[in-house]
Amino acid sequence: MTAPLKSREPITVPVALDNRAYDIVIGRGVLASLGHAIKALRPGARTVIITDENVAARHLVATEAVLNEAGLGSSRILVAPGEASKKVATFERVCEEIIGARIERGDLAIALGGGVIGDLAGFAASCVRRGIDFVQVPTTLLAQVDSSVGGKTGINSRQGKNLIGAFHQPVMVIADTALLDTLPPREFRAGYAEVAKYGLLGDAGFFAWLEANWQEMFSGGPAREHAIAVCCRAKAGIVVRDERETGERALLNLGHTFGHALEAGCGFSSRLLHGEAVALGMVMAFEFSASKGFCSAADTTRAKAHLAAVGLPTHVREVPGGVPGVDALMDLIAQDKKVKRGRLTFILVRGIGQAFIENNVDPAEVRAFMTDAVSDK
């Protein structure tokens, strides 16, 4: 993995989906380009900004200003912050307010926020008037490297995470890395779990680079743009090859089967953020892989040590209030979107950078592993 360039020039990563191709623009201060970029892409379009109350307090006025400067009319829709907004009632309200704002099929929705807003706004955009275009303006590290790219949108069901949704690609992603300066440290760390994921699943060189450079990324140096661009290029390549997750794209779920179960078991609450759940899930995926003889204990220890070094949880005992029992977690795992005809599918590893899809995993094996994993030892 080469070292990042010291230039702070914006980086453009294309997502080459034929007539639905779009660019991811990554850089410090690129929010200022949003209005003119939309004007060039959709002349005459009106916009509606969907965001949460926390993001609105920090970034909504600036976003509206760059739209006004380009001569674009805009309205706003605010929702409560947090995973609890990814529910049917909030989705319905957002749809009704988009319609009430007189947004037509030639207009644009703007998802200004983290993964929750991107998922919620994108799903609403996919449904209102049978589909309107939308732009992702991710404001968290997790959203900039993962959820804003690839077109997965949706909300949660009482029975699990992201079980209601649609594939709906954005027409543009503007990833302003300066917006990450306002993130609370815990939120930034949680997003970093998804950064590390790209190294752990398919790029051992990138993981080694992260081990050496993660502190510069956290502090906001050029390593930040470099790492985000590496992640976006990796995801864009996978999405182009497997947009609807019929094969390779499932690799992006490394850590998510275990992680989603833990997250749902904690009630999608602040007790366990999504990225923290992914970190725990990746550790469990490595440990489960090692227990089956797929990867070495040394690689498992190395992956776990790096996640712990940046301050992410690596054992369920670190979850405040604990996690549900094995029966409840197994029920949640059985609702995972990769389950096919009742058979469990996991993303496992043969080592760092060597993830693979393992179909038809024996539920009894998973139960035995989970029983051990949730024990306090």
Q: How far is CA 204 from CA 211, 237, 258, 306, in A?
A: 11, 17, 22, 13
Instruction: Determine whether 253 is an active site residue.
Output: yes
Query: Does 96 participate in catalysis according to the annotation?
Result: no
130 catalytic? Reply is yes
Quote the CA–CA distance of 185 and 5 in Å, as a whole number.
Answer: 25
Give yes or no: 36 in active site: no
Taking a C-beta distance cutoff of 8 angstroms, is the pair 121, 111 a contact? Answer: yes
Catalytic (active site) residue 59: no
> Is 274 a catalytic site residue?
yes
Distances (CA, A) of 329 to 267, 321, 335: 12, 15, 10
List the catalytic residue out of 42, 59, 86, 152: 152
Residues 42, 274, 302, 304: which is the catalytic one? Answer: 274
Q: Which of 245, 263, 276, 287 is catalytic?
A: 245
Phi, psi (rounded to 5 degrees) for 356: -150, 165
Catalytic-role residue among 161, 197, 235, 304: 235
Catalytic residue among 168, 256, 302, 337: 256
In sign, the C-alpha dihedral spanning 103, 14, 279, 219 is negative
CA 182/CA 192 separation, integer angstroms? 15
Return the residue matching tokens 């999608």. 268
Residues 205 and 2: their CA atoms lie apart, in Å, by 9
Kindly state the tokens that stand for 87: 């529910």
Out of 260, 302, 306, 337, pick the active-site residue. Answer: 260
- Known catalytic membership, residue 256: yes
Q: Catalytic: 213?
A: no
Residue 328 φ then ψ, to 5°: -65, -40
Q: Spot the catalytic one: 6, 130, 158, 341.
A: 130
Among the options 83, 194, 225, 276, which is catalytic?
A: 194
Which residue among 156, 162, 213, 253 is the active-site one?
Answer: 253
CA angle 308/314/315 to nearest 5° reads 145
Tell me the catalytic residues: 130, 152, 194, 235, 245, 249, 253, 256, 260, 274
